[in-house]
């Protein structure tokens, strides 16, 4: 009977429309990400202290991700590293979204000169690989958490700026906005009633879509030694340190943290895509 119920539940999921599937996926992914963050916050720091009698242990029930050359529990290090990456990504992506919002609105409303300058800046940043600018900014600002956040915030706004600019220009030429102008409504009224309700969903979607890029780039420059401090349990630090021990057969030092990072990045990617689908009126009714 239980098998029939499970099979029925599976068929019921595939019979849902796109909106209902998106809600189910959003709930599952949100629970996964929440559990990772809570685990990273509440797991005891004692498990990442040095215990030389437990060093180089393969994965087991006591240590599912094994231990490293200092006897530190890799499961705890991985979860705390993911939590740190999510926190850095959240702050950096939020700052980048705010930059994109301001520049996008200015480009669409302040005339051709301002639009040309901002468009030139967007093209300039898009023409150079993110990692190159990110490394330069992080190095110039002293590295560490502050340098990484500033670097991520200043390199991930161009694409979203273009989206915001196009959205604002489309709304400005809409018929209902022209009617509001003819009725004598103020710019503040038009911005509050017509502009923001269309822009805010784009900002939320942009925030979740920038998350995976910010997390991956943070891990990349930390792996190269120009990001977070080696004393912090960052995923980039864990992967960088594990490279020295792969040839000795300690594969778990890189495999589990690397897979966990990919799962988290993919989860945020799915979250952004499903959120965009829910907020898209054409996709929401399928």
Domain CATH for 138:
1.10.3720.10
Tell me, yes or no, whether 224 lies in a domain: yes
Return phi, psi of residue 67, to 5°. -130, 160
Whether the per-residue pLDDT at 187 is higher than 80: the answer is no
CB count, 10 Å around CB of 1? 5
pLDDT in tens, 216-239: 888 888 887 777 777 777 888 888
- What is the spatial distance between Cα 25 and Cα 157, in angstroms, rounded to a whole number? 27
| Helix or strand holding residue 223 (H, E) | helix 196-223
Whether the per-residue pLDDT at 277 is higher than 80: the answer is no
Residue ranges making up the domain that contains 104? 18-43+71-284
CA distances from 89 to 40, 96, 124, 264 (A): 15, 10, 23, 12
Tell me, yes or no, whether 12 lies in a domain: no
Whether the per-residue pLDDT at 152 is higher than 80: the answer is yes
Quick one: CA torsion of 58, 61, 65, 68, rounded to 10 degrees? Answer: -50
Tell me, yes or no, whether 5 lies in a domain: no
pTM of the model: 0.80
Task: Quote the pLDDT of residue 282.
Answer: 53
| Greater model confidence, 19 or 212 | 212
Least confident of 6-10, 16-20, 275-279: 6-10
Count the domains in the chain.
1
Tell me, yes or no, whether 50 lies in a domain: no
- What is the spatial distance between Cα 246 and Cα 254, in angstroms, rounded to a whole number? 8
Whether the per-residue pLDDT at 1 is higher than 50: the answer is no
pLDDT grade for 99, boundaries at 50, 70 and 90? very high
pLDDT in tens, 52-97: 888 888 888 888 898 888 888 888 899 998 888 888 888 988 999 9
Tell me, yes or no, whether 61 lies in a domain: no
Tell me, yes or no, whether 59 lies in a domain: no
CB 208 within 8 A of CB 275: yes
DSSP state of 271: H
Tell me, yes or no, whether 230 lies in a domain: yes
| Greater model confidence, 201 or 2 | 201
DSSP state of 73: B
Q: Return mean pLDDT, the chain.
A: 81
Tell me, yes or no, whether 3 lies in a domain: no
Question: Would the CA dihedral through 36, 39, 41, 43 be positive or negative?
Answer: negative
Helix (H, G, I), strand (E, B) or coil at 64: coil
Share of the chain above pLDDT 70, in %: 91
């Amino acid at each position: 009977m239980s098998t029939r119920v499970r099979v029925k539940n599976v068929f019921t999921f595939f019979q849902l429309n796109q909106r209902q599937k998106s809600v189910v996926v959003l709930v599952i992914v949100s629970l996964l990400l929440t559990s990772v963050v809570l685990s990273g916050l509440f797991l005891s720091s004692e498990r990442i202290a040095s215990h030389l009698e437990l060093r180089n242990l393969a994965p087991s029930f006591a240590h599912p991700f094994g231990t490293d050359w200092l006897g530190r529990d890799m499961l705890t290090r991985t979860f705390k590293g993911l939590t740190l990456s999510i926190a850095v990504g959240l702050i950096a992506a939020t700052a980048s979204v705010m930059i994109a919002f301001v520049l996008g609105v200015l480009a669409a409303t302040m005339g051709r000169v301002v639009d040309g300058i901002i468009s030139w800046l967007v093209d300039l940043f898009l023409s150079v690989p993110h990692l190159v600018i990110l490394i330069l900014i992080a190095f110039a600002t002293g590295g560490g958490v502050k340098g990484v956040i500033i670097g991520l915030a200043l390199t991930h706004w161009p694409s979203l700026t273009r989206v915001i600019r196009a959205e604002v220009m489309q709304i400005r030429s809409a018929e209902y906005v022209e009617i509001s102008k003819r009725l004598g409504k103020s710019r503040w009224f038009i911005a509050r009633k017509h502009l923001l309700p269309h822009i805010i969903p784009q900002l939320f979607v942009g925030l979740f879509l920038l998350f995976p890029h910010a997390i991956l780039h943070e891990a990349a420059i930390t792996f190269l030694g120009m990001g977070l401090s080696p004393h912090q349990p960052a995923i980039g630090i864990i992967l960088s340190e594990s490279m020295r021990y792969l040839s000795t057969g300690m594969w778990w030092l890189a495999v589990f943290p690397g897979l966990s990072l990919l799962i988290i990045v993919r989860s945020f990617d799915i979250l952004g895509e499903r959120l965009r689908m829910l907020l898209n009126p054409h996709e929401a009714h399928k």
